[in-house]
Chains A and B, each alone.
Chain A
Amino acid sequence: MKSTLGKRLQLGTLILLYIFLYAPIVYIVYVSFQTNGVWPFPPDFTLEHYASLWHDEIYREGLKNSLIIGIGTAALASLLATMATIAILKYHVKGRMIMTGLFLSPLFIAHVIIGISSLMFNKNVLGLSGNIGSTILANATYATAFAFLVVLAQLARYDWRLDDAAMVFGATPKVVFKEITFPLIWSAIFGAFVVSFLLAFNNLEISFYNLGATPTLPTLAWGSLRHGVSQELYALAALINLVVFVFFGVLYAMLKSGLLKLDYKEA
C-alpha cells in the first residue's frame, strides 16, 4: 500500500514539474489564437495575429537577422571550443589550467558589458560601426565559453589513444579526425552548436548595442513592450516553440530509428 502511495506522490510531483515548466508556454500559445490578449476568457479563436505577423515585413527581417546571428555564432563558437578542447585534452598543452580558466571567464561577464564594450572597441579602435558581423563576433565571446564547457565535459570521457591506434594503422591526422575522432565526438560538438545557437538567437543586449535599429527577434520583442505587448509577439513565440519541438521531435525519431547515433557504448 505504501509503495502505491509513494508512486502516486512521485507521479504527482512529476506532473507538477511539467506544469511548472510548460504552463507559461501553453498559455502563450493559447493567447496567440485569441482575439483578446488582455483577458482571453471565454476563448474566442482567431488566426489574425498569425496573418498580420506573416504580412509584417519587420518580423521577417528580425527572424532573418536572428537566424544569421544564431547560426554564425554557433558555428564560430563550436569550432573554437572544439579546437581548444582538443588542444587541452589531446595534446596536454602547457598551461592548460590557465587556458581553461581564460576560456571560461567570459561566462562571468554581463552581456550588457560585452555589448557596450564591443561597440566601443569597434568604433574607437577599429573605426567600424556595429553590424551583423560584429554582433556575431561579440556573441561568440561568451558563446565560445558555453560551447567549451559543453564540449569539454563530453570529451573528458573520450579515449585519445584511439587516435594513436588509428595513426599506427596508417591514418594521417586528417583521416584520423574524419574516421575516428569526429564520428565519436560529433554529438558533443552538436550539443555545443545548439547551446550557442540558442544563446545568440535569444540574445538581446549585445544585439541591441551592436545593431541599433536593425531588428532581431529579441530587440523587436523588447521594443514592442514599450507600446504594450502586441499579439503578433505571442504568435511569434508560439511559432518559435513549434520549430523547437519539431526539431527535437525529428532528432528523437532519427535516434530511435538508428538513422543517427548519438553515443557509442564503450568497447
Chain B
Amino acid sequence: MGIVLELKNVSKNYGKVIAADNINIEVDQTEFFSLLGPSGSGKTTMLRIIAGLEEPNEGSQVIINGKDVTHAPPYQRGIGMVFQDFLLFPHKTVAENILFPLKMQGASQKEKDENLKWITHLTQLEGLENRYPYQLSGGQKQRVALARGLVSKPSLLLLDEPLANLDLELRKKMEIEIRRFQIELGIPFIYVTHNQQEALTMSDSIAIMNYGKMEQVGEKFSLYHDPDSQFVASFLGSADSIEAEVASVQDGIATMTFHGKTIQARAHNGLKAGDQAICYIKSERIRMEVEENPDAPCGVVLDKIFKGQYIDYILDIEEGNEIIASSGTLSQIKAKDRISISWDPQVADAFPLPPKDPS
C-alpha cells in the first residue's frame, strides 16, 4: 500500500509562538491516523497546513500522493475535511451541502444523483435531503458533514475534533461509524482530537503532539505500552507518578529507592544511578494486597470509587503520595484498609526528573 500523505520538516510559527516544530509524518493508504494532544499543542495547525488553509514556514514540505502541494491553494488539493462545529452551509439544503464538492468539480447531474444516493445511504441520511441544517439534530449534522467530506471520494479525509460537540452516547456511536466509513472507503483519515479515548478507539496509528513538537508516533498499542517520552507516559491512559532515587540500572531496568522501599521500572533517557527519577505506572497495572509487605510501598485506602466497569482506589502511599489504582469490580478491598502495592517492572517507566527550579 502506498504512502498518501507525507509531511517533511513541517514548521510553523506565529511570531514567537511555535505551533509546529519540524514535524515529519507518513500516512499510508488504509491508515486511520490520529493527531492527539492537549489544546494548544499545534494539532489543528497541522491539519490546516495539510488542507492548505495555513502556509508553513520556508523549508517545509507537504506531499499528497507523491505531489508536492506545499504552496498549492486548498481548492487544488482534492481532499475532504470535516470541521469542528460542522460548518455546514446554513443557506443550503442537506443535498446541496453534501453535493457542494462535486458541484465545484463540475460533475454531471447523473454523477451527482448517483453519489448522493450512495453517500446518503452510507451515512443514513435518506429522506433528509431537502432539510436545512438548522432542522437537523447534532448527530444528523455530523453525518452531513461527514457525507460532504466523503462524497467526492477524496484521496484523504481530515477530521478536526468532529465529535467534540456531541454527547457521550452519540460520540461512542459515531466513533464506531467513522471507523467503519474509513475501512469501507479505503482512504486514510487524519483525525485531530484531544480525547485519547477517541484516538485509541478508532486509530491504527497515533501521533502525540505537545507544544508544537511531535512527542511520539506509532501504532497505538505500542504507544500506550512503550512510551518514549515523559509526556507520552504521563499523558496516555490514567498514569500515576512516583518520585524516587535511582540505585542502579541494569538491562534497561532501573532499581530505585522510594521511602526506603525498592521499586523497579524501565529506564529511559539515559537514567543512571544517583539520579532523581519520576516513575509512571498506569492505574490498571497497580496490584494491591491487603497484608503489609515490608519490602513494598505501603499505604492506606483513602476512598473507593465505583465507576461501573471498574473501581478506582484513591491511595495514600508512604504518607503523602496520592495515587490511583484501578481494579475489577469484584475487589473486596475497602476504604481505610491498609495495603501494599506492586507492579511488573516491564509496564512502568522511569525518566530523569528535571532539576527543580531554584525558585
Contact = CB atoms under 8 A, between A and B. Distances in A.
Contacts of A266: 90, 134
Interface stretch (A164-172, A204-212, A216-224, A240-248): A164-172
Contact of B75 (A162, A172, A267): A172
A170 B90 contact: no
A201 B77 CA distance: 49
Interface residues on A, range: 20 to 34
Given A161-B83, A267-B134, A167 B89 contact: no
B86 A169 contact: no
A175 to B, nearest CB: 7
Q: Top 4 nearest A-B pairs by Cβ distance?
A: A170-B104, A267-B133, A265-B134, A264-B90
Contacts, number: 73
Given A168-B53, A169-B104, A265 B75 contact: no
A261 B75 contact: no
Interface in B155-209: none
Interface residues of B, number: 29
B90 A166 contact: no
B87 A165 contact: yes
A180 B89 contact: yes
Given A172-B75, A184-B90, A264-B91, A165 B134 contact: no
Contacts of A179: 100
A170 B83 CA distance: 15
B181 to A, nearest CB: 17
Contacts of A170: 75, 78, 101, 104-105, 152
B320 to A, nearest CB: 48
B53 A167 contact: yes
Contacts of A171: 75, 100, 104
Contacts of A168: 51-53, 74-75, 77, 79-81
A164 B91 contact: no
B104 A175 contact: yes
Contact of A267 (B52, B53, B89): B89
Nearest to A171: B104
Given A161-B85, A164-B74, A266-B90, 18 more contacts: A162-B89, A165-B83, A167-B73, A167-B75, A168-B52, A168-B81, A169-B75, A169-B80, A169-B81, A169-B101, A169-B148, A170-B75, A170-B78, A171-B75, A171-B104, A172-B73, A264-B90, A266-B134
A159 interface: yes
Nearest to A167: B74
Interface in A151-201: 159, 161-162, 164-172, 175, 179-180, 183-184
A264 B93 CA distance: 12
A5 to B, nearest CB: 40
A265 B132 CA distance: 9
Interface string B81-99: 1010111111100000000
Contacts of A159: 87
Interface in B128-161: 132-134, 141, 148, 152
B164 to A, nearest CB: 14
B104 A164 contact: no
Interface string A58-85: 0000000000000000000000000000
Interface in B57-75: 73-75
Contacts of B90: 184, 264-267
A229 to B, nearest CB: 49
A169 B100 contact: yes
Nearest to A175: B104
Contacts of A183: 91
A180 B83 CA distance: 16
